[in-house]
Chain A
């Protein structure tokens, strides 16, 4: 989470209300009241009127129910019908991320803009320093001819009054691969062929206009079905999400109605072992370097944007895969739910990991805990699996995978841990086949690693401290 904001809370409130209705077995009837209850007439509307606010909520609800919202026809279908459909059949594979078009405020194209703080001074450094002669003075104030402007930002830098500002489009600004762009109508569109599902846009949009397709309905159906065995596999980042010990957190998850809870960190043991072996083998073969493969957003980036790095990405699977395999070996009929802070895991699971049936976010887990009245801090300690080392739980944070590998192969190799897929790191990685910076390179698409994932619940500072505590034990 980059910063606290109300759009994020709206999504969480929607999740909580929907899971509560599910639990009360009243979803089909009750879902239509949510927009009205959350945006009542006597409260000031956020957009132009309550009707638009409610309409936006309707679309967000449809996304949470597991349907895609880009199609205009959804306007013709009442919420109850969606709820019934969601309860009746398993969701089909559709877009993981979609833009709620009514919520997207169609931000102004990002540009440099002269505000009315311009005093029209004699110095006019903006005029003098603009390399494209895009600045002119009208009525004693500077103005920028957008057709000529190349967004170099010099005018803004040199203005002594800070009168020239940059107005960004938040989602476009944070997208590391330029997958989100304006359509003809001014609202944003996500290019599936470019998107790596890092979740940055979803996290950043101040209107909460980018929604992930949720699986809460499917997870609920399996939990409440006594004939089904359902097993949760929470990612190591879970230990940072609550003010409680790892044992309490695991037992809180179980209390929702899962038959078993198996730490993904158990799968991380396999990942570390295989990855270390693979690394030694590659070094033996004389390969210049190897990168990790457990971050699905990074792997997606390599697949879609950096094919030259592909031969250097390890073939070892992610901890989620190994954990799910272990579960399926033991209980072949069970359904496996991965619980994590990650959006790209939804993509990874749907595309490549048949062992994982559903992916649930920490936010959704939080909604379940609220709806099922579970107080994590008062839960009993569940004994932790002694097979799991602190190195595996350390996968939660950037540097964790590297630590685990160093532990396995010793200190004789150069290592590097890259956080975030910003421009600098992207260039660095693309150059690596020619100029390797280190022999073992860990790459995490999120700054700080999984603990800072786009679907996490706890603020980063709190999460980091809790993880530190959990690892010390």
Chain B
């Protein structure tokens, strides 16, 4: 199976608006999950101009706004539901 592409915004806007721990969440995922992910960090995903609120992530090209540390885990689980 192809790996899931996960991009986490670590820009200051997302950091200040509640995304400070997103990187931690990803880094503390168990091995059986992390091996299915292709994680990258970006200083800005180019969002935050429209009505959506930060913090942002991108999972398999889909942008998700207003991510919290708990919803991030949910989102990853949902994406990997067939595998893990």
Interface size, chain A (Cβ < 8 Å): 24
Which residue from chain B places its CB closest to the CB of A369 in the assembled complex? B12
Chain A residues near B44: list those with CB within 8 A: 375
Asked whether A243 lies within 8 Å of B16 as measured between CB atoms, the reply is no
Q: Does B20 contact A (CB under 8 A)?
A: yes
Using A16-B13, A369-B12 as known contacts, say yes or no to A375 and B18 having CB atoms under 8 A apart: no
Q: Does B2 contact A (CB under 8 A)?
A: no
Using A242-B15, A243-B10, A370-B13 as known contacts, say yes or no to A459 and B20 having CB atoms under 8 A apart: yes
Asked whether A375 lies within 8 Å of B20 as measured between CB atoms, the reply is no
Q: Bound state CA distance, A264 and B46, in angstroms?
A: 35
Q: Does B35 contact A (CB under 8 A)?
A: no
Q: Bound state CA distance, A461 and B20, in angstroms?
A: 11
Asked whether B10 lies within 8 Å of A457 as measured between CB atoms, the reply is no
Which residue from chain A places its CB closest to the CB of B44 in the assembled complex? A375
- Chain A's nearest CB lies how many Å from the CB of B24? 6
Q: Bound state CA distance, A378 and B15, in angstroms?
A: 14
Chain B residues near A373: list those with CB within 8 A: 12
Q: Bound state CA distance, A382 and B80, in angstroms?
A: 42
Q: Does B79 contact A (CB under 8 A)?
A: no
Partner of A13, one of B17, B20, B24: B17
Per the 8 Å Cβ criterion, residues 4-49 of B in contact with A are: 10-13, 15-18, 20-21, 23-24, 43-44
Q: Does A193 contact B (CB under 8 A)?
A: no
Chain A residues near B17: list those with CB within 8 A: 9, 12-13, 16
Chain B residues near A375: list those with CB within 8 A: 11-12, 43-44
Q: Does A421 contact B (CB under 8 A)?
A: no
Q: Does A208 contact B (CB under 8 A)?
A: no
- Chain B's nearest CB lies how many Å from the CB of A222? 22
**A177-209 interface code vs B (CB 8 A; 1 in, 0 out):** 000000000000000000000000000000000
**A429-473 interface code vs B (CB 8 A; 1 in, 0 out):** 000000000000000000000000000011101100000000000
Asked whether A4 lies within 8 Å of B10 as measured between CB atoms, the reply is no
Q: Does A36 contact B (CB under 8 A)?
A: no
Of the candidates B15, B18, B23, B68, the one having the most CB atoms from chain A within 10 angstroms of its own CB is B15
Q: How large is the interface on B (under 10, 10 to 19, 20 to 34, 35 or more residues)?
A: 10 to 19
Q: Bound state CA distance, A40 and B53, in angstroms?
A: 13
- Chain B's nearest CB lies how many Å from the CB of A365? 9
Asked whether B16 lies within 8 Å of A369 as measured between CB atoms, the reply is yes
**B50-68 interface code vs A (CB 8 A; 1 in, 0 out):** 0101000000000000001
Asked whether A459 lies within 8 Å of B21 as measured between CB atoms, the reply is yes
Q: Bound state CA distance, A367 and B21, in angstroms?
A: 18
Asked whether A243 lies within 8 Å of B12 as measured between CB atoms, the reply is no
Partner of A12, one of B10, B16, B23, B51: B16
Q: Does A236 contact B (CB under 8 A)?
A: no
Q: Does A377 contact B (CB under 8 A)?
A: yes
- Chain A's nearest CB lies how many Å from the CB of B28? 11
Q: Bound state CA distance, A363 and B18, in angstroms?
A: 11
Partner of B16, one of A366, A377, A461, A462: A366
Q: Does A374 contact B (CB under 8 A)?
A: yes
13 A-B pairs, CB-CB below 8 angstroms? A9-B18, A9-B53, A13-B53, A242-B15, A243-B15, A366-B15, A366-B16, A369-B16, A375-B11, A375-B12, A377-B10, A459-B21, A461-B24
List the interface of chain A (C-beta within 8 A of B): 4, 9, 12-13, 16, 40, 242-243, 363, 366-367, 369-370, 373-378, 457-459, 461-462
Inter-chain pairs besides A16-B13, A243-B10, A369-B12, 10 sampled, C-beta below 8 Å: A16-B16, A243-B23, A373-B12, A375-B11, A375-B43, A376-B12, A377-B43, A457-B20, A459-B21, A462-B21
Q: Which 3 A-B pairs have the closest CB atoms?
A: A366-B16, A369-B12, A370-B13
